[in-house]
Structure 1
Amino acid sequence: MAKTSIITGSSSGIGRESAIALSKAGWNVVLTARRADALHETASLCESSENCMVLAGDVTDETFVKTLFSETMARFGRVDLLFNNAGVNSPAVPFEELTLETFQNVISVNLVGPFLCAREAVRVFKNQTPMGGRVINNGSLSAHTPRPNSAPYTASKHAMTGLSKCLALDGRAFDITCTQLDIGNAATALTARMEKGVLQPDGRRMAESTFDVAHVAAAVVHIAALPADVAVPHFTIMASKAPFAGRG
Structure 2
Amino acid sequence: MNPVPNQTVPARRTMLVTGAGSGIGRAVTRRMLEAGWNVVLAGRRAAQLEQSAGTHPNALVVPTDITDPSAVERLFAAGIDRFGRIDALFNNAGVFGPSATIGELTAQQWQDVCAVNLGGAIHCAGAAFRHMQASGGGRIINNGSISAQVPRPASVAYAVTKHAITGLTKSIELDGRPYGIACSQVDIGNAASEMMKDVGATSGALQADGSRKVEPTFDMDQAAATIEFIAAAPAEVSINHVTITAAGMPFIGRG
What range describes the TM-score normalised by the shorter chain of this pair? over 0.9
Alignment of 1:232-247 (within 5 A): 232-247=239-254
Give the deviation of 1:246 after TM superposition: 2.6
2:188 counterpart of 1:180:
no
Among 95, 99, 114, the alignment partner of 2:121 is: 114
The corresponding residue for 2:26 is 16
Alignment of 1:88-167 (within 5 A): 88-128=95-135, 131-167=136-172
Structure 1 segments of 4 or more deviating over 3 A? Answer: none
| 1:27-65: CA deviation from partner (whole Å, max 9, x where unpaired) | 000001000000011111xxx632110000111100100
Among 200, 205, 218, the alignment partner of 2:212 is: 205
Cα RMSD (Å) of the superposition? 1.0
TM-score, normalisation: structure 2? 0.93
TM-score, normalisation: structure 1? 0.96
Q: Which is worse superposed, 185-194 or 153-162?
A: 185-194
**DSSP-derived class of the 1:32 partner:** strand
Cα distance in structure 1, aligned partners of 2:98 and 2:57 = 40
Is this contact kept in 1: 2:201–2:215, CA < 8 A?
yes
More helix by share: 1
Cα distance in structure 1, aligned partners of 2:251 and 2:168 = 22
Is this contact kept in 1: 2:96–2:195, CA < 8 A?
no
For 2:147, give the aligned amino acid. Answer: S
| Greater gyration radius | 2
The corresponding residue for 1:68 is 75
5+ residue gaps in structure 2? Answer: 1-10
**DSSP-derived class of the 1:15 partner:** helix
The percentage of aligned residue pairs carrying the same residue is 48
**DSSP-derived class of the 1:186 partner:** coil
Among 24, 42, 48, the alignment partner of 2:52 is: 42
